[in-house]
Amino acid sequence: MGGPAGGPGVEPDSTAQTITRSDHVRARSTDAELHDYRAAFAVSRSAMALLGPDGTVLAANPALARLLGTEHERIAGAPIGALLGTDGDPHARGAFQDVLTGRRRRLRCTRRLARPDGSALRAEITLSRTGTRPLLLTVDDVGERDTLRRELRHLRMHDPVTRLPNRALFFERLSDACARAPQHGTGRIGLCYLDLDGFKAVNDTLGHRVGDELLAAVAGRLQRCAEPGGHLVARLGGDEFALLLRDSTGTGQATTLATAVLDALQAPFDIAGQRLAVSASIGVVEREAADTTPTGLMQAADTTLYWAKADGKGRWTLFDPERNAHLMTRQALSRTLRQAVERGEFVLDYQPLVALDTGELRGVEALVRWEHPHFGRLSPNRFIGLAEEDGSIVQLGRWVLAESCRQARAWQAAHPDSPLVVSVNVAVRQVWDSDLVADVAAILRETGLPPRLLQLELTESAVMGSAGRPLQALHALHEMGVRIAIDDFGTGYSNLAYMSRLPVSALKLDGSFVQGFRSAEHPNPADQTIVEALVDLAHRLGLTVTAECVESAEQAERLRRIGCDTGQGWHYSRPVGPAAISALLG
Q: Which residues contact Mg ion (rule: CB under 5 A)?
A: 425, 457, 487-488, 548
Nearer to ligand C2E, 227 or 390 (CB): 390
In eight-state DSSP terms, residue 306 is H
Q: How far apart are CA 120 and CA 85, in angstroms?
A: 12
In the list ligand C2E, Mg ion, none, the entry touching 314 (Cβ below 5 to 8 angstroms by class) is: none
User: Which residue, 190 or 575, is less far from ligand C2E as judged by CB?
Assistant: 575
Which of Mg ion, ligand C2E, none is residue 549 near (CB under 5 to 8 Å by kind)? ligand C2E
For Mg ion, give the closer residue by CB, 297 or 499: 499
Amino acid symbol at 414: A
Residue (333 or 458) nearer to Mg ion, CB? 458
E strands, 436-528, in order:
454-459, 483-489, 506-509
The answer to whether the CB of 560 falls within 8 A of the CB of 357 is yes
Nearest distance from C-beta of residue 377 to ligand C2E, angstroms: 11
Smallest distance, Å, CB 213 to Mg ion?
A: 54
> Is residue 280 a contact partner of residue 260, using CB atoms and an 8 Å limit?
no
If contact means CB under 5 to 8 A according to the sort of partner, which of ligand C2E, Mg ion, none does residue 400 touch?
Answer: ligand C2E
Burial zone of 160 (CB within 10 Å; 0-12 exposed, 13-18 middle, 19+ buried): exposed
Return the one option of Mg ion, ligand C2E, none that residue 439 interacts with (CB less than 5 to 8 A, by type).
none
* Beta carbon nearer to Mg ion, 425 or 566: 425
By the 8 A CB rule, do 488 and 428 touch? no
Q: Which is nearer to ligand C2E, 300 or 396 (CB)?
A: 396
Q: Give exposure, 75-114, as e/b (b: 16+ Cβ within 10 Å).
A: bbebebbebbebeeeeebeebbeebbeeeeeebeeebebe
Name which of 159 and 349 has its Cβ closer to Mg ion.
Answer: 349
Nearer to Mg ion, 166 or 568 (CB): 568
- Calpha distance 521→279 (Å, rounded): 50
Q: Tell me the residue length of the chain.
A: 586
Minimum CB–partner distance for residue 483 and ligand C2E (Å): 15
CB 171 within 8 A of CB 243: no
- Smallest gap from Cβ 557 to ligand C2E, in A, equals 15
Question: Residue 218 is which amino acid?
Answer: V
CB of 550 to ligand C2E, least distance (A): 6
Specify the residue, 349 or 487, whose C-beta has the smaller distance to Mg ion.
487
Distance of closest approach, residue 179 Cβ to ligand C2E, in angstroms: 48
Of residues 247 and 548, the one with the C-beta less far from Mg ion: 548
- In whole angstroms, how close is the CB of 558 to ligand C2E at the nearest point? 15
**Which of ligand C2E, Mg ion, none lies near 52, with the C-beta cut-off 5 to 8 A by kind?**
none
Contact residues: ligand C2E, CB under 6 A: 351, 367-368, 379-381, 384, 397, 400, 425-427, 457, 487-488, 511, 548-551, 568-570, 575
Minimum separation from the CB atom of position 425 to ligand C2E (A): 4
Nearer to ligand C2E, 205 or 381 (CB): 381
Residue 197 interacts with, from ligand C2E, Mg ion, none (CB under 5-8 Å by kind): none
The item of Mg ion, ligand C2E, none sharing an interface with residue 547, based on CB under 5 to 8 Å by kind, is none
Name which of 412, 420, 429 is nearest 455 in CA terms: 420
Cβ atoms of 421 and 363 closer than 8 Å: yes
Is beta strand 135-141 parallel, antiparallel or unpaired with respect to 120-128? antiparallel
25 CB-near residues (< 8 Å, 6+ apart): none
Closest distance between Mg ion and the C-beta of residue 473, in Å?
18
The option from ligand C2E, Mg ion, none interacting with 67 (CB < 5 to 8 A, set by class) reads none
Given ligand C2E, Mg ion, none, residue 380, with its beta carbon under 5 to 8 Å by kind, binds: ligand C2E
Work out what residue 575 binds among ligand C2E, Mg ion, none; the CB cut-off runs from 5 to 8 Å by kind: ligand C2E
R_g of the chain computed on alpha carbons = 43
111 to 84, 91, 337, 374: CA distances (angstroms) = 9, 12, 64, 63
Our CB check for ligand C2E shows the closer of 307 and 517 to be 517
Smallest distance from the beta carbon of 399 to ligand C2E, in angstroms?
9
Residue 24 CA to residue 15 CA, distance in Å, equals 14
Residue type, 547: A
Angstrom CA distances, 164 to 170, 196, 208, 215, stand at 10, 16, 18, 11
- Residue 352 interacting partner from Mg ion, ligand C2E, none (CB closer than 5 to 8 Å by kind): none
Closest distance of CB 167 from Mg ion, Å: 49
> What's the CA gap between 173 and 509, in Å, rounded?
59
- Whole-number Å distance between alpha carbons of 566 and 532: 14
CB 527 within 8 A of CB 533: no
* Residue 79: DSSP 8-state: B
Return the beta strands (E) in 469-532 as ranges. Answer: 483-489, 506-509
Please give the residue whose beta carbon sits closest to ligand C2E in the complex: 569
* Residue 379 interacts with which of Mg ion, ligand C2E, none, CB < 5 to 8 Å by class: ligand C2E
Q: How far is the CB of 491 from Mg ion (least distance, A)?
A: 9
Looking at beta carbons, which pairs linking 551-558 to residues 24 or more positions away fall under 8 Å? 551/514, 551/518, 552/518, 554/517, 554/520, 555/514, 555/517, 555/518, 556/356, 558/517, 558/528
